[in-house]
Amino acid sequence: MALIVLGMLLSTVLIDQSAPSPARAAMTATQVYSSAVLDIARDFYCACGNCGDKELVVCNCDTAIQEKNYIHDLLEKGYEKESINATVQAMFGGGKT
């Protein structure tokens, strides 16, 4: 059952990513993220493969920005932290154990 829900969540999120929102397009490495985004980002390492074990919360490479923007978008859509963590892990990996 959990896999079905996760699959539905992923398909919804993937469809919604087809056109970037103005907020996502405006976010850069100097973006000040909300405490909610940073709270979730603390649960992950950067997934780019070039940053070593750098925590997502402090990383500003292109992949880290993409991941944090993704978290931001999910929060804006009303998703809960647990669902966002599962979705980010499925999309990017890098979750802390």
pLDDT at position 30 over 80: no
Q: Does residue 27 lie in a domain region?
A: yes
Query: Where in the sequence is the domain holding 36, given as residue range(s)?
Result: 2-92
Over residues 47-79, the pLDDT tens digits come to 999 998 899 999 999 999 999 999 999 999 999
Residue with the larger pLDDT of the pair 36 and 9: 36
What is the three-class DSSP state of 44? strand
Cα→Cα distances 71→1, 11, 14, 19, Å: 24, 16, 13, 16
Task: Give the number of domains in the chain.
Answer: 1
Residue with the larger pLDDT of the pair 21 and 36: 36
Q: Does residue 26 lie in a domain region?
A: yes
Q: Does residue 97 lie in a domain region?
A: no
Q: Does residue 31 lie in a domain region?
A: yes
Residue with the larger pLDDT of the pair 97 and 85: 85
Q: What percent of the chain has pLDDT over 70?
A: 68
Contacts by 65-69, CB closer than 8 A, 24 or more apart = 65/27, 65/28, 65/29, 65/31, 67/41, 67/92, 67/94, 68/27, 68/31, 68/33, 68/37, 68/41, 69/24, 69/27
**Torsional sign, CA 6, 23, 60, 35:** negative
